[in-house]
Amino acid sequence: MTRFPADFIWGTATAAHQVEGSNTNTDWWRREHRPDTDLPEPSGDAADSYHRYGEDIALVADAGLGAYRFSIEWARIEPEPGVHSRAQLDHYRRMVDACRDRGIEPVVTLHHVTNPIWFTREGAWRASDAAERFARYTEATLPVLDDVTWVFTINEPNMIATHRDFEAAEMHLAKRPEPDMHVAETLAAAHRAAREVLSGPGHVRSGWTIGGQAFQALPGAEDAMRDYAYAREDFFIDAAVGDDVIGVQNYSRNIIGPDGPVPLAEGTETNLLGWEYWPQSIGEELRHCWERGKGTPLLVTENGFATRDDDRRIDHTRDALASVKAAMDDGVDVRGYLYWSLLDNYEWGSYDPTFGLVAWDRDTFERRPKPSLQWLGRVARTGAVPDAA
């Protein structure tokens, strides 16, 4: 039995474009509907969580979890430059209120992959005024965040700097190109500007989330690994030193040889995206972020396993949590664990990779909780992870 502190935060997560549906004003929606799109399918209505968020939050609460991370959609809130929708701000405020009404801690992300079409049209993160525009958007969201403690500015900026052209670049499925360090610097400036805005109310604890890859070097490739990892991860950890929190997101490890990532050995167990089954990677990533982040507190904002075998999802989560607790026992300050994801969602091109604790019917949107939801809820209620049977 692995036991966690009584104040440990237990929850789950989603992102707007992946579950809301009809997110038509984003660059990703435009990419989905291009005649020459490279994506297998569009997001469409997704899980219709834009309208069914109350049902989703109730699932979180009824399971016994205490936190729900969701993102608010910039493209809905600011459909044109400087034009802010009061109706959309009220919508996301109602989501916060729905969490509070059910005793759920809302964890809000301001930017999760997608951009307003106008922002991308005008240069996105390459534009000279991108940081100022993001700060303006952040200021507009303050009524939503009136009593929200945990706020993350930008989700996985290290992936944005790599997949910087969301209308052309392939996410997840292709070998990632060299990151654009100009974009990385702009993202860091936008993050700092947003944190400055968020510091005004006095109650917000802010940071950004980093897509951690638990880099491991083959013997003799240690220098190559450090060089490879800097632009893809460590730059962004360095930029978060001194933040209130770093969101740590991890799904597997990445083994680096002298020439870069090493292909998986034949027969290696993988998830539905082809990533190695290696639940211990989250603990390794937490240790790295703690050391590189110079003691900045950490919160696991994403960790999960895309599979059709829910028993294997439970196995992965159990072993991942054991590695989280081992890191904590060694002095790493980890405040909580948010499983990705609450729902099977639109995984940036396809609904096939099922990460969710809850399935749903594509025609009726009926929610179908999996045993893994109740398993994680029992862990949250007891603060203890049972040993493997």
pLDDT digits (tens, 9 = 90+) for 80-108: 999 999 999 999 999 999 999 999 999 99
The pLDDT of 316-342, averaged and rounded, is 98
Look up the domain containing 317 and give its range. Answer: 2-210+306-380
Residue 254 located in a structural domain: no
Place of tokens 């991942």: 320
Confidence of residue 178 (pLDDT cuts 50, 70, 90): confident
Residue 165 is predicted with a pLDDT of 54
Q: What tens digit of pLDDT does each residue of 247-299 get?
A: 999 999 999 999 999 999 999 999 999 999 999 999 999 999 999 999 999 99
What percentage of residues in the chain have a pLDDT greater than 90? 95
Please name the amino acid found at residue 134: F
Residue 239 located in a structural domain: no
- How many domains in the chain? 1
The pLDDT of 173-200, averaged and rounded, is 88
Burial of 366 (0-12, 13-18, 19+ CB in 10 A): exposed
Residue 103 is predicted with a pLDDT of 98
Residue 164 is predicted with a pLDDT of 52
Per-residue tokens: 160: 């944005």
Residue 225 located in a structural domain: no
Residue 263 located in a structural domain: no
Preceding omega of 22 cis (within 30 degrees of 0): no
Look up 170 and say whether it is catalytic: no
pLDDT score of 348 more than 80: yes
Residue 389 is predicted with a pLDDT of 73
The per-residue pLDDT of the chain, averaged, comes to: 96
Burial of 168 (0-12, 13-18, 19+ CB in 10 A): exposed
Q: What is the pTM of this model?
A: 0.96
pLDDT score of 174 more than 70: no
Residue 248 located in a structural domain: no
The pLDDT of 162-176, averaged and rounded, is 50
**Residues 382, 385, 386, CA angle at the centre, nearest 5°?**
105
Confidence of residue 160 (pLDDT cuts 50, 70, 90): very high
pLDDT score of 173 more than 50: no
Residue 170 is predicted with a pLDDT of 39
Residue 105 located in a structural domain: yes
Confidence of residue 177 (pLDDT cuts 50, 70, 90): confident
Confidence of residue 176 (pLDDT cuts 50, 70, 90): low
* Cβ atoms < 10 Å from Cβ of 93: 17
The pLDDT of 347-373, averaged and rounded, is 98
Residue 228 located in a structural domain: no
Residue 172 is predicted with a pLDDT of 39
Q: What is the Cα–Cα distance from 233 to 156, expressed in whole angstroms?
A: 9
Distances in whole angstroms, Cα of residue 310 to Cα of each of 79, 233, 307: 39, 30, 7
Residue 236 located in a structural domain: no
The pLDDT of 313-322, averaged and rounded, is 98
pLDDT score of 169 more than 50: no
3-state secondary structure of 83: strand
The pLDDT of 128-138, averaged and rounded, is 98
**347: domain CATH number?**
3.20.20.80
pLDDT score of 171 more than 50: no
- Strand partners for 241: none
Burial of 7 (0-12, 13-18, 19+ CB in 10 A): exposed
CB 344 within 8 A of CB 307: no
Q: What tens digit of pLDDT does each residue of 26-75 get?
A: 999 999 999 999 999 999 999 999 999 999 999 999 999 999 999 999 99
Q: Which of 156, 233, 284, 285 is catalytic?
A: 156
